[in-house]
Homo-oligomer: A and B are copies of this chain.
Amino acid sequence: MVCAYDGTAYFGWQTQPGLPSVQETIERTLADIVKAPRVEIHGSGRTDHGVHARGQVFHCDLATRMSARSLLMALNAGGRLPPDIRVRACAEVGPGFHARFSAVRKEYRYYVWNTRLMPPCRRLYHAHVVRPLDLDAMRAAMARFVGEHDFAAFSANPNRPVASTVRTIHAFEVSRQGSRVAFRVQGNGFLYKMVRSMVGFLLRVGTGLERPEAVSELLAPGNPRTARVPSAPACGLFLWQVWYG
């Protein structure tokens, strides 16, 4: 299934005891629909508190005779999923499919409102940057992210060790439309807080606080996360799309 959500009201994707999460909300609604005591869904990855999604993918094992189409309609029907979560697509897949392990590419987008005042109706879906952003300087920095690198310096949470901190960025673009600055990044995978760390650093480059060349220094093998890499706010981030082989 492919779902979209407004992350404002949730403590992230992953179920946490006593806190509203997207995963738990979908699991409960699915269990209701297929009349199962419990349903477990597996997302393509976690998103943090306040992060949004346009194309999060998850899979689950369901014992039901309902068609994928009926399931989709039941999920989005009134009184089922809340309006800040919509399921956009639903399809039957083979037993070899895993939303997380079968993913081969992901795209995130990050939105910034770059003006003196933040318009109230934009505040939940954009980070606010007052100082004018130099897009050319940011592009020079972004070019240095593209390719295979050790992104340890652009990750957070050492309590969650990963087998490897090497990832490949396929494309990284930025564009401006009026006061809105949009980042688009595709890669084969992303470490915890990696997109927000990269964008946080880019916003420093764009406002003249860092040189574009500093990216390469931080990507040098074995470079640990440093205080020089602040995370950009959660509300600007969207998990946009996940690709499978």
Contact = CB atoms under 8 A, between A and B. Distances in A.
Contact of A121 (B118, B119, B123, B125): B125
Contacts of A86: 117-120
A123 B84 contact: yes
A244 B86 CA distance: 43
Contacts of A4: 117, 119-121
A86 to B, nearest CB: 5
A121 B238 CA distance: 10
A138 interface: no
Interface string A38-63: 00000000000000101000000000
A85 interface: yes
A88 interface: yes
Contacts of A83: 118, 120, 123
Nearest to A89: B117
Interface of A: 4-6, 52, 54, 76, 83-86, 88, 117-121, 123-125, 238
